[in-house]
Amino acid sequence: MDYKKILEEIAVEIEPLRHVGRQADYIPALAKVNPDRFGICITTTDGDVIEWGDVSEPFSIQSITKVFSLSMCLSMLGEKLWSRVGKEPSGAAFNSLIQLELDRGIPRNPFINAGAIVLADILLSNLADPEKDYLDFVRELAGDSHVDYDREVAASEREKGYINAAIANMLKYYENLDNDIEDVLHFYFLQCSVRMDCRQLSRSFLPFADRRSEFLFGSVRLTASQVKRINAVMQTCGFYNDAGEYSYLVGLPGKSGVGGGIGAVYPGRYAVATWSPRLNEKGNSVMGMKALELLTTYTRESIF
Ligand code: GLU
């Protein structure tokens, strides 16, 4: 498969979308990013790296971090995790408060904000040094010790994080948060603030595509069956209330973030990361989604 040639064709085809959509600005620090960027990087299970565009510019991975949090929580708690958070697509906005109330404090899935705030609480309770242990794990996955939190983005989100604070308060009311609300929010925003470029993100998703090696990074060990299940949750819940559309168009387990990034996997073959800050109305990268749609169309490689 000539991925290089395919990426070049895709780049030409999506160019007219470069100014379509709006970057997230509800987190003030994200509004400062140049929105007219696009990068894509494929890392294959054979170790090849194929890339195009702005692949070495770090961006805020935001909700993509929830895949890493889920991996840690599943490795620590196993199936018990699902008593605190569900695994059904939400069909609602990623920060919906109404749904959490109707579900009486059990978030619909780990990839909406409420679910990821519960994951942050679990990690706070179970890790010896949560900020360090989390970052160490993400660095190991990315194979790069330069990956770091962006404390300015985290502080900026905390300052305006009224809805996430409301979600955390509701979780506490329903006794689904063990730790102090402020501590949980601080850690959640920090996780979302992790900065990576497309190369690092693609590499950090490779273990979710690789069916040959064991998933073992530091103390985080997942069975092949758990990796399969994380992919399943990505497929059904990874794109907020756009998950059906994303599945229909792309057909690869993936996770998006409001920083404009997407990480996705073609199990057994490759991981791919895209980044372009302009988002559609559901919060997903316009160029990124189109690029992945064309990738699976041109290669005829998808899980469907
Ligand atoms: N930190 C963001 C928030 O909580 C993450 C949202 C996202 O990327 O979907 O609103």
| DSSP calls for 118-163 | HHHHHHHHH-SSHHHHHHHHHHHHHT-TT-B--HHHHHHHHHT-HH
Mean pLDDT along residues 8-36: 94
The range of the structural domain enclosing residue 161 comes to 3-299
Q: Is the CB of 258 under 6 A from ligand 1?
A: yes
pLDDT of residue 93: 87
Residue 211 has pLDDT above 90, yes or no: no
**Residue nearest atom 2 of ligand 1, based on CA coordinates:** 62
| Structural domain includes residue 15 | yes
What's the mean pLDDT in 140-168? 96
Quick check: is 115 in a domain? Answer: yes
Q: Would 35 be classed as within a structural domain? A: yes
* Mean of the per-residue pLDDT values of the chain: 96
Domain count, the chain: 1
pLDDT in tens, 225-279: 999 999 999 999 999 889 999 999 999 999 999 999 999 999 999 999 999 999 9
304 lies in some domain: no
Which residue's alpha carbon is nearest to atom 4 within ligand 1?
113
Residue 192 CA: nearest ligand 1 atom is: 1
The average pLDDT across 23-48 equals 93
Distance 157 CA to ligand 1 centre (A): 9
Q: Ligand 1 centroid to 2 CA: how many Å?
A: 35
CATH of the domain at 186: 3.40.710.10
256 in any annotated domain: yes
* Mean pLDDT, rounded, for 135-140: 98
Range 105-119 average pLDDT:
97
The owner of tokens 């329903």 is 174
Q: Given pLDDT bands bounded at 50, 70 and 90, which one contains residue 92?
A: confident
Does any domain span residue 172?
Answer: yes
Residues 212-223: pLDDT tens digits? Answer: 889 999 999 999
